Amino acid sequence: GENVEQHPSTLSVQEGDSAVIKCTYSDSASNYFPWYKQELGKGPQLIIDIRSNVGEKKDQRIAVTLNKTAKHFSLHITETQPEDSAVYFCAASIPGGGADGLTFGKGTHLIIQP
Amino acid sequence: DTGVSQDPRHKITKRGQNVTFRCDPISEHNRLYWYRQTLGQGPEFLTYFQNEAQLEKSRLLSDRFSAERPKGSFSTLEIQRTEQGDSAMYLCASTRGAGNYNEQFFGPGTRLTVL
């Protein structure tokens, strides 16, 4: 089955600096890659996603890049703010078999230092 | 608030008891998913429904776990004979339409503690 690896597990950056989180996936048939932000006591919330036919997508301070050949994708947050502090999860679609769920990475705890 | 609600938010039970959780998806969403999230991990996909049909259940953790969505609206997840290893957050998500290009909206989760 699909396996998603996510690094780093914890990332501390100064407010205003950029943060980068990286993920790799194992199944080349995966075709959808969302990123979720989870705050304490809440469910995950989608912040950006990318399909396999696109190499890069940007939404204001957030961007995602996808390298299908290398099977890795990354989240970039620029001009970080205190409210960006949370746990971020990457995910990949589970291909085949009629399943339509997502396989998640283990998460990155992003800490924005004031 | 995503519009997906789950009840209860917290459940404490003794080992061996049965528990049932409820999920109410966004009203026009026909796909509903259940995930389990343990401490320090990402959500783990368990099962999903297209309307009232359960299209994937091979990933349910054991035969003690079952899920229903009888009228294609709300769903329930039941765990029979709970074990301490079942302690986790159980998340529900919903989406409109088929295919996995659609955003999954997650509820706040039900945190289960098995004593």
The pair of three-digit structure tokens given for residue B29, joined into one six-digit string: 């969403």
Task: Check residue A101 and give its pLDDT.
Answer: 82
Of B35, B41, B100, the CB nearest to A100: B100
As to burial, measured by CB atoms within 10 angstroms (0-12 exposed, 13-18 middle, 19+ buried), residue A99 is buried
Give the pLDDT of chain A (114 residues) as one tens digit per residue. Answer: 789 999 999 999 999 999 999 999 999 988 889 999 999 989 999 999 998 888 999 999 999 999 999 999 999 999 999 999 999 999 998 876 444 688 999 999 999 999
* Closest C-alpha to B32, from B63, B11, B53: B53
CB contact under 8 A, A104 and B42: yes
* Closest C-alpha to A25, from A66, A83, A78, A64: A66
* Closest C-alpha to A12, from A99, A114, A91: A114
Of A31, A41, A106, the CB nearest to B42: A106
**Beta carbons of A102 and B56 less than 8 angstroms apart:** no
Per the model's pLDDT, the better-predicted residue between A18 and B2 turns out to be: A18
Calculate the dihedral angle through the C-alpha atoms of B62, A30, B3, B65, rounding to the nearest 10 degrees. Answer: 0
- With vertex at residue A73, the alpha carbon angle to CA A26 and CA B99, rounded to the nearest 5 degrees, is 70
| A30 phi/psi in degrees, rounded to 5 | -60, 140
CB contact under 8 A, A94 and B43: no
